[in-house]
Amino acid sequence: MRITVLAGGVGGARFLQGVRAYAAGLPGSEVTAIINTGDDVTLHGLRICPDLDSVMYTLAGAVDAERGWGREGESWRIMAELTEYGAEPTWFSLGDLDIATHLVRTQMLAAGYPLSDVTAALCQRWQTGVRLLPMTDERCETHVVIADDNGRRAIHFQEWWVRHRAGIPALEFVQVGLESARPAAGVLESLTEADQVLIGPSNPVVSINTILSVPGIRDALRDGPAPVIGLSPIIGGSPVRGMADACLPVLGVETSAAGVAGLYGARSAGGVLDGWLVHTGDTTELPGLAVRSRDLLMTSPEATAAMVADAVALAGR
Ligand code: GDP
Ligand code: CA
């Protein structure tokens, strides 16, 4: 079975551990993940891809389990030196081990390799067991429009999320460069050749909706032969981890499983979903959408693999 997954960073990484565990029970199966790159940022001259790295480190067993991102056994000496120099920004944590990844990536990009090739090269070392594809090879970044004394101002998503902890009201998300971006090499094929497409329980606004907004990706899901099943990232009205509830209202979407399903839409009504898994006690009613409820807490790769099995079963109904 060829499974293609749409995913963001920390939530996406946990989900992919479960997909990989599920696929391990099916000989000859392949898992491809299309990862959000709207969070990418250049700091201190380094190109940083937070979601790709969270997924890569997690699947490699090299992630700091408590934080959910960055390397286990990390040290922060370079960052301390940068702070001594007064080199801005100081609000984005960059570990010493992590910086090596960014150095390799930045050098390869400067040499002309597309991000998809760079990602494959980095994954050579980590043996992730899942093929990781950036959603696009082109640079596009999510910016957040906020109010200031002069009216409105846009800041990079990372500044809003990490520095301000999503505490400044967002007026709008702007995807800089997305309109003219193309899906990265391999992305469209992974959707049109898949037997099963899964939309992981990632941030629906700044992870999944960003991927879906790369021209060509939404159409490939909608027109593709594989069933598309999504898993709700919202449980009982709040995101399990993180601050996704700061994002949905900006789009006028209710923070609920039903709200997110409405955002993605049922395929029969021009959206992308055939089926939707919600957490026990949550509901969604959308014409044309097959809905099933079950425990959606990703407490272990095995528990998540069972979710994936149910998603595949829902697709086969
Ligand atoms: P980020 O890029 O690091 O913010 O991570 P993602 O976009 O991949 O995922 C973050 C989202 O995952 C959060 O907003 C939560 O809604 C969701 N999430 C995290 N843990 C769980 C879980 O155990 N179950 C479900 N259903 N969703 C989760
Ligand atoms: Ca992210």
Give the pLDDT score at 241.
82
Give the pLDDT score at 108.
98
Alpha carbon 106 to chain centroid, angstroms:
21
The two tokens of residue 61 are: 């067993």
What ligand 1 atom has the least distance to the C-alpha of 244?
14
Query: Ligand 1: does its nearest atom lie under 6 Å from the Cβ of 48?
Result: no
Residues near 157 by beta carbon (within 8 Å), at least 6 away in sequence: 38, 39, 41, 141, 142, 143, 144, 173, 206
Query: Ligand 1: does its nearest atom lie under 6 Å from the Cβ of 95?
Result: no
Which residue, by CA, sits nearest to atom 26 of ligand 1? 233
Least Cα distance to 22 among 298, 264, 267, 225 occurs for: 298
Least Cα distance to 11 among 188, 159, 208, 197 occurs for: 208
From 5, 10, 199, mutation site for ligand 1 pocket: most ligand atoms within 8 A of C-beta: 10
Query: Ligand 1: does its nearest atom lie under 6 Å from the Cβ of 207?
Result: yes
Query: Ligand 1: does its nearest atom lie under 6 Å from the Cβ of 202?
Result: yes
Give the pLDDT score at 244.
82
Question: In angstroms, rounded to a whole number, what is the distance separating the alpha carbons of residues 143 and 230?
Answer: 26
Q: Is 297 helix (H, G, I), strand (E, B) or coil?
A: coil
The two tokens of residue 85 are: 């120099």
Give the pLDDT score at 19.
98
How would you write the pLDDT of the chain (317 residues) with one tens digit per residue? 999 999 999 999 999 999 999 999 999 999 999 999 999 999 999 999 999 999 999 999 999 999 999 999 999 999 999 999 999 999 999 999 999 999 999 999 999 999 999 999 999 999 999 999 999 999 999 999 999 998 999 999 999 999 999 999 999 999 999 999 999 999 999 999 999 999 999 999 999 999 999 999 999 999 999 999 999 999 999 999 888 889 999 999 999 999 999 999 999 999 999 999 999 999 999 999 999 999 999 999 999 999 999 999 999 97
CB 264 within 8 A of CB 231: no
Query: Ligand 1: does its nearest atom lie under 6 Å from the Cβ of 297?
Result: yes
Query: Ligand 1: does its nearest atom lie under 6 Å from the Cβ of 266?
Result: no
Give the pLDDT score at 8.
98
Secondary structure, 3-state, the chain: CEEEEEECCHHHHHHHHHHHHHHHCCCCCEEEEEECCCCCEEECCEEECHHHHHHHHHHCCCECCCCCCCECCCCCHHHHHHHHCCCCCCCCCCCHHHHHHHHHHHHHHHCCCCHHHHHHHHHHHHCCCCEEEECECCCCEEEEEEEECCEEEEEEHHHHHHHCCCCCCCCEEEEECCCCCCECCCHHHHHHCCCEEEECCCCHHHHHHHHHCCCCHHHHHHHCCCCEEEECCEECCEECCCCHHHCHHHHCCCCCHHHHHHHHCEHHHCCCECEEEEECCCCCCCCCCEEEEECCCCCCHHHHHHHHHHHHHHHCC
CB 187 within 8 A of CB 34: yes
Give the pLDDT score at 317.
75
Alpha carbon 293 to chain centroid, angstroms:
23
CB 32 within 8 A of CB 196: no
Least Cα distance to 240 among 286, 287, 307, 173 occurs for: 307
Residues near 126 by beta carbon (within 8 Å), at least 6 away in sequence: 56, 57, 59, 60, 62
Domains present along the chain, CATH in parentheses: 2-138+180-316 (3.40.50.10680)
Tell me the pLDDT tens digit for each residue of 112-169. 999 999 999 999 999 999 999 999 999 999 999 999 998 999 999 999 999 999 999 9
Cis peptide before 89 (omega within 30 of 0): yes
Tell me the pLDDT tens digit for each residue of 242-256. 888 899 999 999 999
Length of the chain measured in residues: 317
Say whether pTM exceeds 0.85.
Answer: yes
From 64, 142, 240, 294, mutation site for ligand 1 pocket: most ligand atoms within 8 A of C-beta: 240
Q: Determine phi and psi for 24, rounding to 5 degrees.
A: -60, -25
Give the pLDDT score at 60.
98
CB 81 within 8 A of CB 99: no
